[in-house]
Amino acid sequence: MKRIVWSFFILTAAMALQAEDGHQLWLRYQPVNKAKVVTEASSPTISIAKQELETYYNGENVTLKLDATMPDDDGYRIEGSTISARRDAGLLYGAFALLRGQYGDSHPTFNLRLLNHWDNLDGSIERGYAGESIFEWFKLDEQLIRDYARANASIGINGSVLNNVNASPKILTTPYLKEVKKIADILRPYGIKVYLSINFASPMALGETKTADPLNKSVAKWWQKKAKEIYKLIPDFGGFLVKANSEGQPGPGDYNRTHADGANMLADALKPFNGIVMWRCFVYGANHKGEDRVKQAVSEFKPLDGLFRDNVILQTKNGPLDFQPREPYSPIFDQIKKTPNMVELQITQEYLGQSRHLVYLAPMWKEFFDYVSPSQLKGIAGVANIGKDRNWCGHHFSQANWYAFGRLAWNPDLSSNTIAEEWLELTFTNDKRFVDSMMRLMEMSREACVKYMMPLGLHHIFKFDHHYGPEPDGFIASYPLEWCPVYYHKANNDSIGFDRSHTGTNATSQYRKDIADMYDNIETCPEDLLLWFHRVPWTYKMKDGSTLWESLQFEYQLGVIMVETMQTTWHYKMRNFVDEQRWREVDERLADQLQNAREWRDVCLNYFGQFATKQ
Ligand code: GCV
């Protein structure tokens, strides 16, 4: 009897171990303990590479070789059973590539491949939809941080900004810095540097200076001393990310100083330690109040181009507004020529159904690279979608966006389909019947989202603050106009859309000539951005001869049909390929997504119909 109970216990324990709750991400290799790894080099990073291969590689022997003749980056070469790299991080990336079954030479396009966490010190996450922060101050779960580091290393991410850009000054106090050091020590062997978002007014807010004026000597001194303290604890600390004079955050503008004055003061403090400043261009409503919001970043930063220290990088969101499901690229990337640029993408789906909707973001990011060449960029940052939820991202398919971000940060030439295929095989199964269907489904998911949320270039018609559902009638007089949906669609009985052509705000003129001409002319403007750039009569004839109003109805309806296809495919055809828990959890979310898509269609068409049918 006793034996039966015991073996039952062992059996259920084993089943529990195998429970597919998504925590293993795309790293679900089974231990085979077969490979022997030979290497003359040694470092904590190489030990991890060795251990990964010895545990999971299904071949006999692997040699890891540091090769000083290779290009000075994080790349690697896999030839036969030898992985060579210039840096030990390259050997680790090579080890993960070999485990994925990839061979040959591979070098990262961007040297800076960073996650930006919008995690607050109290454990909450701004725009986080997967539970609380994994960075639990003063009670760190070291294993969780190690798992996080391993997942990042497996896709080549080499930096983490640990805290929200709306930053608490407290992060720079000694007790917190000691905790940051603990995290940095865990991430380091995985090739990941730690960075911090800082509050520009920190010295004053902490009561240590009377002002935060960047040209004040005591302020500059405070930052120099702080930099020294940080680097003593964390010698390879990456640097600061700064949101200044934006959405209520303090900045140099509070003292009539420029962004360059502010960034340079911080850059000087970090320079002796090789640290960098990533200064965000997401600004509106301050110096250029009243100007079309999408123009304000260029208006603010173009005159400063060339005035920044060489360790300052300007970090700009992919689009000029705010992470909408479809935006044209930000014209900053055409206008800032003398200062290095980084692009900020958003992995967390603030305006794309958060962790409730299956929306694969790689096609959207690829669209950005169709217009902005990676060679123009020094780095890439992704606002993370990671939290303490067991499956890390809230939705099993949101893991694909973390994965895709890392893979594109390494190689933006990869197709979104290739990345989806890789991820599906690693995360679920390599059964072609599943992978082929799901690749199609993932690829269409972003376009579906655009259609049911913002067809034909409509934008920012999201519910106030939480940005989840539709609110096309949104207008509250006490809020800034730029937060109100009606400001963006401007629907009336004649027309709809925002005129940003030369007859309107002339935002089109901020683009390089060929693109400016294309967007400015209603005939050549792509129809999927029509209402972003033009004010268009309801009776306007689209390229296929239908009216604008007919097309708008068609697009909303098509968005819903696409989600119906996604939901029915998963519900009726995918069940046999996926474990019960993950199948059910995705199924429930797809049912919600379908309901939400219908709500978007109905609310928006009812609202716009009031105007459109008054012709
Ligand atoms: C971190 C948008 C978001 C804010 C975010 C801000 C930014 O406005 O809604 O939550 O703040 O962008 O990127 O700074």
pLDDT value at 530 more than 70: yes
479 — pLDDT class (breaks 50, 70, 90): confident
Q: Using one digit for the tens of pLDDT, what is the confidence trace for 137-185?
A: 999 999 999 999 999 999 999 999 999 999 999 999 999 999 999 999 9
Distance CA 590, CA 564 (A): 9
3-state secondary structure 346-363: ECCCCCCCCCCCCCCCHH
pLDDT higher than 90, residue 8: no
For residue 350, indicate whether it is catalytic: yes
Residue 50 pLDDT: 98
Q: 76-79 and 276-280: which strand pairing?
A: unpaired
Q: Are strands 239-242 and 36-39 parallel, antiparallel or unpaired?
A: unpaired
Q: In whole angstroms, give the CA distance from residue 12 to residue 9.
A: 5
Q: Which residues contact 144 (CB under 8 A, 6 or more apart)?
A: 134, 388
Position 598 confidence tier, pLDDT thresholds 50, 70, 90: very high
Residue nearest to atom 11 of ligand 1 (CA): 166
Which residue among 127, 129, 243, 324 has the greatest number of ligand 1 atoms within 8 angstroms of its CB, and so is best to mutate?
127
443 is catalytic: no
Contact residues for 431 (Cβ-Cβ < 8 A; gap 6+) = 577
Ligand 1: residues whose CB is within 6 Å? 118, 126-127, 165-166, 243, 247, 282, 322
- Distance of CA 533 from the midpoint of ligand 1 (Å): 23
Q: Which among 527, 523, 547 is positioned nearest to 537, based on CA atoms?
A: 547
What is the model's pLDDT at position 223? 98
The reported pLDDT for the residue numbered 12 is 39
Average pLDDT over residues 535-539: 98
pLDDT for the residue 19: 67
The answer on pLDDT for 15 being more than 90 is no
Supply the pLDDT for residue 440: 98
- Average pLDDT on 72-80 reads 97
More confident residue, 119 or 482: 119
Pocket test for ligand 1, best of 322, 343, 349 (most atoms within 8 A of CB): 322
- Tell me the CA–centroid distance for residue 287 and ligand 1, in Å: 18
Structure tokens at 238: 């990456």
Q: How confident is the model at residue 4 (pLDDT cuts 50, 70, 90)?
A: very low
Q: What is the mean pLDDT of the chain?
A: 96
Summarize pLDDT for 269-324 with one digit per residue, the tens. 999 999 999 999 999 988 898 999 999 999 999 999 999 999 999 999 999 999 99
Query: Which segment of 9-13, 18-22, 38-42, 83-87 scores lowest on mean pLDDT?
Result: 9-13
If one residue of 118, 161, 164, 247 were mutated to test the ligand 1 pocket, choosing by the most ligand atoms within 8 A of its CB, it would be: 247
pTM of the model: 0.96
Contact 281/316 with Cβ under 8 angstroms?
yes
* 47-59 average pLDDT score: 97
pLDDT digits (tens, 9 = 90+) for 394-413: 999 999 999 999 999 999 99
Taking the centre of ligand 1 as the mean of its atom positions, its distance from the CA of residue 246, in whole angstroms, is 9
Res. 18 pLDDT band, cuts 50 70 90: low
Structure tokens at 551: 């097309």
Give dist(CA 12, CA 494) in Å, integer. 66
Catalytic pick from 247, 310, 413, 602? 247
Q: What pLDDT shows up at residue 605?
A: 98
Catalytic pick among 52, 322, 421, 422: 322
Q: Is 585 annotated in the active site? A: no
Mean pLDDT of 371-379: 98
